[in-house]
């Protein structure tokens, strides 16, 4: 089973916004936690990413993704004063796109800066495991032809601003974020551990894919072990060691993650969520949900 496909399918983008920014030094753009996860593509020129005390140089063709919504700045020169992106005058060119000009008298740069919102199961373990900075360098030797092609297309649209560019760039930005995460998963396979490492195990990865695809099945440790052709004891020990929790704890966690996503994003009722997840009654589902989230389904949906 292609467990990576399952991971990326469960990780959806709820919305995205981008700004095509024409900048002349000195300039600095500031992004706060409230802006959410961000990405920045350097189409032309150069700049520096500031995150805490770290200074990371960026040049044309580089892409950086910050999946954890950490406060950071993009600037040239590296210590230039940074202004919030939303505080600068810009021209809206679509529901999710804007054009920004910020001029000094120094070297020019062209950036595509965007914000994304991850949807899907709220407790998806992948987001917790992503590094704070995902950086794709233009000069990196990589087999990720789709990522490079998407970067090239996004850069071409940003440079040309042809009719329809706003719509094309919005869709390319969504694809770019998921491709960047996929490239990291493939590139860093040798350093995987915990849940990501478990995905690479042929047997445990298959079990995780089954749980993700068929959360409504009446899974037991024995039935999962049979599916992957392992003894119950060997399966339970290896699953717990690799994933960090027992198989049934993971089944419950995944079901509750799905349920919380449905309640928040699809405004699904508790009774419908209970039915989709195979619970015998709404009351049984509500008890399990409250144990996991410390709130009953109705209160959880209202609070979110």
Asked if residue 221 and residue 186 are part of one domain, the reply reads: no
CA angle 52, 148, 188 (to 5 degrees): 55
Q: Is residue 56 within 8 Å of 137, Cβ to Cβ? A: no
pLDDT given at position 304: 62
Asked if residue 172 and residue 200 are part of one domain, the reply reads: no
pTM of the complete model beyond 0.85: no
Asked if residue 22 and residue 165 are part of one domain, the reply reads: yes
pLDDT given at position 193: 62
pLDDT, tens digit, for every residue of 65-92?
998 889 999 999 999 999 987 788 888 8
Asked if residue 38 and residue 186 are part of one domain, the reply reads: yes
* Rounded Cα gap, residues 11 and 5, in angstroms: 10
- Look at residues 68, 212, 227, 39 and name the one whose alpha carbon lies nearest to residue 136: 39
* Rounded Cα gap, residues 298 and 270, in angstroms: 7
Asked if residue 161 and residue 17 are part of one domain, the reply reads: yes
Asked if residue 173 and residue 225 are part of one domain, the reply reads: no
Asked if residue 274 and residue 180 are part of one domain, the reply reads: no
Which tokens belong to 82? 């940074």
Domain range for residue 92?
3-190
pLDDT band with cut points at 50, 70 and 90 for residue 164: confident
Asked if residue 81 and residue 199 are part of one domain, the reply reads: no
Q: Is residue 58 within 8 Å of 64, Cβ to Cβ? A: yes
Question: What is the average pLDDT value for the chain, to the nearest integer?
Answer: 85
pLDDT given at position 259: 92
**pLDDT over 70 (residue 297):** yes
Full DSSP string of 101-165: EE--SS-EEEEEEEEEEEESSTT-HHHHHS-S-EEE-TT---S-HHHHHHHHHHHHHHHH--TTH
* Rounded Cα gap, residues 277 and 270, in angstroms: 11
How many domains in the chain?
Answer: 2
Asked if residue 210 and residue 176 are part of one domain, the reply reads: no
Which tokens belong to 296? 């009953």
Q: Which percentage of the chain shows pLDDT scores above 90?
A: 44
Asked if residue 220 and residue 176 are part of one domain, the reply reads: no
**pLDDT over 50 (residue 181):** yes
Boundary of a domain, candidates 190, 205, 220: 190
Residues 6+ apart with CB under 8 A from 300: 260, 263, 264, 289, 293
CATH of the domain at 296: 1.10.10.60
pLDDT given at position 121: 66
HSE at residue 105, side-chain half, CA atoms within 13 A, is 0
Boundary of a domain, candidates 123, 156, 190: 190
Asked if residue 173 and residue 209 are part of one domain, the reply reads: no
Boundary of a domain, candidates 158, 190, 222: 190
pLDDT given at position 144: 64
Asked if residue 251 and residue 137 are part of one domain, the reply reads: no
pLDDT given at position 218: 95
CATH of the domain at 158: 2.60.120.10
pLDDT given at position 1: 46
């Amino acid at each position: 089973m292609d467990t990576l496909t399952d991971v990326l399918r469960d990780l959806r983008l709820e919305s995205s916004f981008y700004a095509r920014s024409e900048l002349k030094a000195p300039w600095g753009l500031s992004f706060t936690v409230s802006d959410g996860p961000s990405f920045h593509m350097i189409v032309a020129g150069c700049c520096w990413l500031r995150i805490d005390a770290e200074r990371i140089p960026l040049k044309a063709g580089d892409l950086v993704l910050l999946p954890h919504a950490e406060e950071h700045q993009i600037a040239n020169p590296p210590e230039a004063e940074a202004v919030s992106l939303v505080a600068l005058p810009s021209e809206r060119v679509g529901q999710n796109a804007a054009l920004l000009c910020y001029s000094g008298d120094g070297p020019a740069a062209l950036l595509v800066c965007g914000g994304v919102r991850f949807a899907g199961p709220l407790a998806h373990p992948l987001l917790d495991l992503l590094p704070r900075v995902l950086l794709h360098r233009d000069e990196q030797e990589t087999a990720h032809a789709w990522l490079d092609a998407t970067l090239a297309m996004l850069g071409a649209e940003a440079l040309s601003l042809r009719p329809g560019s706003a719509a094309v760039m919005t869709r390319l930005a969504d694809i770019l974020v998921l491709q960047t995460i996929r490239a990291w998963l493939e590139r860093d396979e040798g350093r995987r551990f915990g849940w990501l490492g478990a995905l690479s195990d042929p047997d445990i990865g298959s079990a995780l894919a089954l749980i993700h695809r068929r959360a409504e099945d009446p899974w037991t440790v024995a039935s999962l072990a049979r599916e992957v052709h392992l003894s119950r004891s060997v399966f339970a020990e290896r699953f717990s060691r690799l994933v960090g929790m027992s198989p049934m704890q993971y089944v419950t966690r995944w079901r509750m993650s799905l349920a919380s996503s449905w309640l928040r994003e699809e405004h699904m009722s508790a009774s419908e969520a209970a039915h989709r997840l195979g619970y015998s009654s709404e009351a049984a589902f509500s008890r399990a949900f409250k144990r996991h989230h410390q709130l009953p389904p109705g209160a959880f949906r209202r609070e979110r």
